[in-house]
Amino acid sequence: SLDMEGALTARDRVGIQDFVLLDETTDAAFLSNLKKRFSRDLIYTYIGTLLVSVNPYKELDIYNKKQMETYMGINFFELPPHIYALADNAYQTMLTEFDNHFILISGESGAGKTEASKKILQYYAVSCPSTTLLNTVRDKMLMSNPVLEAFGNAKTLKNDNSSRFGKYMDIQFDSQGDAVGGHILNYLLEKSRVVHQNHGERNFHIFYQLVEGGEDDLLHQLGLERDAQHYNYLTQGECAIVSSINDRNDWKTVKNALQIINIEEINTNHLFGIVSSVLHLGNIRFESNSKGQAVLANNDELRWVSNLLGVDARSLQEGLTYRKIEARHDQVLSPFTVDHAIYARDALAKAIYGQTFTWLVNRINESMENKDPSRKTVIGLLDIYGFEVFYVNSFEQFCINYCNEKLQQLFIQLTLASEQEEYEAEGIEWEPVQFFNNKIICDLVEEKHRGIISILDEECLRPGDATDLTFLERLEDKMGNHPHFVTHKLADKMTRKTLERGDFRLLHYAGEVTYCSHLCLTRQNVLFFSLLKLICQSKNAIVKECFSTMDADSRRRPETVATQFKSSLLKLTEILMAKEAWYIRCLKSNESKQPGQFDEALIRHQVKYLGLMEHLRVRRAGFAYRRKFDVFLKRYKPLCPATWPHWRGEPADGVEVLVQHLGYLPNEYKMGRTKIFIRHPRTLYATEDAFEKCKHELGERTSAVYYQCPVFATTKIETCWRGVQARKEREKRAWAVKVIKKFIKGYMNRGQAKSSDNSEYLAFVRQNYLNRLKNHLPKTVLDKTSWLPPPAVLTEVRHLLSRYCVKKHSNIFKGKKESYPQSVAQPFMDTRITSNQTHKPTVFHSVFLQYSVPVIKYDRNGFKPRPRQLVLTQTAAYVIEEAKIKQRVLYTSLKGISVSNLTDGIIVFHITCEDPKQKGDLVMQCDHLFEFLTKLCVIANKQNAVKVVQGSIKIEIQAGKESAVDFSTGHEPMVYKAKNGHLMVVRRVLFLMMTSCVLSALP
């Protein structure tokens, strides 16, 4: 493996692994180095300990377990840059210094932040010590991701899996380094997406997963149809179906993940009830009566909402169409207009979904909670929304970009502080670095009484209806002269052309963004009190729990969303300031998500607003390279006769002697208290080149010494070799005597109870019997009688093996199907009819049933799964639904049977099909494949009919109409109809291993 200094020799081939070592710290040099590395799929580069990551938009084989093991416990700069190196060094530093750390992952939407956070979690899941408790915590941490992504991520114009909320996760470690718990904080879920999506965007994933992947019975219970086009809240973006997203498969993953994070079945049902209630709410329509009042256009959807949320339907209708006004002791109902009714409906949908998301995060936290009160250290992961600029920028984009301003301010503060501390600790004079301090922009947004958020609050609390016009006027009045704020009225003639009258523009550190003041105002309003009071009485357990803490009778107006977000962001800043910081900066390589494309203009823009050049200049601060004296001396000591091969004094003195010998000028380096600081990369490169040359010379000198004394060297080697061989022979003979003695003693005591004297002999007897049995097994598949007579010690084992081996003599599957070895230990059963399946068709009353097993039968048209029972008689196989025969397959019409070589349970019966009206081939899935097919082969005398197929099985749906069953492997098992019309079967990859001598003795 290359260490950092060794990798310097490859600098002309793959660029510089650490931007700090660039000879020129210019934008052009930075981009050139980044592009050179990206072209070789080297997507990671350092700026000191900061990691720059460029999204390659393709799979790279750099995240396997072997790679993880390579980076475990390695010094940060010893190996090429990698996200595992950063994760491991944060972990090792935490263990060594017993303090708290956090990893800040930032970048634009689609730059790869969420994937980076997953990679770090997966690394800790593999690299930390393993226990049963620990594995449970790991599973819950890993499986919280698909749940939070389903409820909190959505397709946007920039990213098909964009996080629409901020997530901060603390991973808690004990003093041994075991991950023992976790805790998640969530920030600003984009609730407006529940009721409105821009063109080309989708709602949250969970809605589509439920509609597309939910089981038929579940959808029936929830009153849903299997078509997203039926729902107003799912179709506004006009892209419900996305080729890169498989909602059906994701649905299975989410359901599995909910079980792992301990969400009980009853709560899962309540959860899906809430999701579907939001969809029904979106389909409630209002019409205007003759008085201009809103009335419901339909009652069906309202009934479903009241049923799913467990609230009174009449009260719900009243809450959606009237506003209660309390005057002293009286209540007056003020009718809504259609616009007000739609607003109330949407506010209810957003409130329910937002509170449910918070409930879900709390439940995940409960499942990961560490019960041990002793002190823990933590590594925090902050995966937060990137800077966003859309054609129309609403309140959410305002909050997201404000968040990025705060994090940039924190980043500069922490970076400058850590660098200044190191210089001060080393006694090196600090050289001031020019950088843009964005505090002026943060103050513009958050300053008390003067900032945009304060003005937004005042407008929302002002009596009467606040409008975007009054809000804008107040902004212009308060900050008309601010250099980072502009409106249509304040702009010059050229800028005015690009600004609508209702918009305002902020000049962020990352660039200009124009916000719609109307959208900022409307997103602040809260749920009407009458609806809030009603929803607090919900019989849905989750909704009841979510709204139980709210005081529906309180007349005090709650804080606006902007103020809530500002407060939570300040708390997050405090959390981060108390920890040691590590940074990952994610970059998009291009806007079209194409592999291999490096858009220089796009990347230059991201490098600018992520502050990478400022960070580089701060990190350099006059010195490109710094290393501890002992590390520097250990590497370069061969370059000076006084330090080679050993320096006996203090490392600092040795380094001083070494650099004087190398001719370093006084202005090229500085000696700190524990480190040497080198100013220019060229000085280091010259030293490295001299070291490479020195290594070759040392090798040549060493070879010359041995060539000068060939006879002596040969004699010495021969003597050593003969000594080694003699010692081995003596040890071998001593071992043989010991083994023979033990064998004889064991034979003499073979009839006694098991003891240390005879245990090895009895083990030999068992192994010998199994080896003989392997070559003399019964000739017929179901023969249980013709077995070799066992020794007395194996009588019981012989009985068990005869049961296990009912099917094992058949060579149908051995070496052909992946799941065959692990099936060896499962004994056959005579039937699989359970107590609730005892009712059989009258046609079987006089027929002897040979065997029965439950199967899933896939329809020939559409491949819909149907649970069935398959019954074997002496002449035919019957497909049964309850007490009704659905299909009979005579063994004489069974042309063949096909299965795949993978771990799935798919079976295809190839049936002679001459008439177009006749049913074609039969496709089934059976959990007891080996038992079922072995029984069938014996009963129907079809031992040669079974074929094990790789890749794909052709099927005949009816005479002249063909299709296929395709097979592949993946991380999650699934069966679905593919776009090409075939049945796609994906099975989890298994690593099979023979683990006992019993298995090795059986075919």
Distance CA 187, CA 167 (A): 6
From the list 166, 273, 386, 451, the catalytic residue is 386
Are 849 and 872 spatial neighbours (Cβ–Cβ below 8 Å)?
A: yes
* Fold annotation for 628-707: Alpha-Beta Plaits (3.30.70)
Which helix H or strand E contains 865, and what residues bound it? strand 865-872
819-987: what CATH class? mainly beta
Phi/psi of residue 829, each to 5°? -115, 155
Q: Is 110 annotated as a binding residue?
A: yes
The crossing angle, in degrees rounded to 10, of helices 265-282 and 205-213 is 100
CB atoms under 10 Å from CB of 259, counted, come to: 12
Distances (CA, A) of 985 to 152, 953, 962, 967: 29, 11, 18, 5
Q: Provide the b/e sequence for 307-325 (b: ≥16 CB within 10 Å).
A: bbbbbeeeebbbbbbbbee
The pLDDT, as a whole number, for residue 593 is 87
Q: Which residue has the tokens 């969530």?
A: 186
Secondary structure (3-state) at 513: strand
Residue 467 designated active-site: no
Phi/psi of residue 678, each to 5°? -110, 130
Distance from the first to the final alpha carbon of the chain: 43
The pLDDT, as a whole number, for residue 991 is 37
Residue 283 designated active-site: no
Residue 538 designated active-site: no
Q: Is 107 annotated as a binding residue?
A: yes
DSSP assignment string, 146-171: HHHHHHHEE--SS-TTEE-SEEEEEE
From the list 49, 163, 321, 898, the catalytic residue is 163
Low-confidence ranges of the chain (pLDDT < 50): 1-12, 781, 806-809, 990-1003
Pairing of strands 101-107, 377-383: parallel
Label each residue of 567-620 as H, E or C.
Answer: HHHHHHHHHHHCCEEEEEEEEECCCCCCCCCCCHHHHHHHHHHCCHHHHHHHHH
Q: Which residue has the tokens 């309390």?
A: 326
The pLDDT, as a whole number, for residue 1003 is 38
Are 166 and 384 spatial neighbours (Cβ–Cβ below 8 Å)?
A: yes
What's the angle, vertex CA 404, arms to CA 402 and CA 410, rounded to 5? 110
Secondary structure (3-state) at 852: strand
Prediction pTM value: 0.61
Are 444 and 481 spatial neighbours (Cβ–Cβ below 8 Å)?
A: no
Amino acid at 1003: P
Label each residue of 823-840 as H, E or C.
Answer: HCCCCCCCCCCCHHHCCC
DSSP assignment string, 325-352: EEETTEEEEEEPPHHHHHHHHHHHHHHH
Q: Is 108 annotated as a binding residue?
A: yes
Are 828 and 809 spatial neighbours (Cβ–Cβ below 8 Å)?
A: no
Phi/psi of residue 585, each to 5°? -110, 115
The pLDDT, as a whole number, for residue 996 is 35
400-522: what CATH class? mainly alpha
Distance CA 622, CA 617 (A): 8
Residue 487 designated active-site: no
The pLDDT, as a whole number, for residue 806 is 47
Q: Is 310 annotated as a binding residue?
A: no
In tens, the pLDDT along 808-834 reads: 445 678 878 888 887 776 778 878 876
The pLDDT, as a whole number, for residue 222 is 95
CB atoms under 10 Å from CB of 262, counted, come to: 14
Residue 162 designated active-site: yes
From the list 109, 145, 514, 903, the catalytic residue is 109
Residue 427 designated active-site: no
Distances (CA, A) of 99 to 75, 175, 407, 912: 19, 11, 22, 72
Q: Is 862 annotated as a binding residue?
A: no
Residue spans of the domains in the chain: they are: 400-522, 628-707, 711-749, 762-807, 819-987
Q: Which residue has the tokens 């049963």?
A: 132
Are 742 and 763 spatial neighbours (Cβ–Cβ below 8 Å)?
A: no
Q: Is 175 annotated as a binding residue?
A: no
Distance CA 661, CA 667 (A): 16
From the list 388, 405, 688, 818, the catalytic residue is 388
Residue 110 designated active-site: yes
The pLDDT, as a whole number, for residue 524 is 54
From the list 145, 159, 203, 852, the catalytic residue is 159
Residue 388 designated active-site: yes
HSE-CB of 754 using CA atoms within 13 angstroms: 7
In tens, the pLDDT along 462-520 reads: 665 556 677 888 888 888 888 999 988 888 888 888 888 888 899 888 788 998 877 66
Helices (H), 833-961: 929-940
Nearest C-alpha neighbor of 585 from the set 400, 390, 404 = 404
The pLDDT, as a whole number, for residue 53 is 96
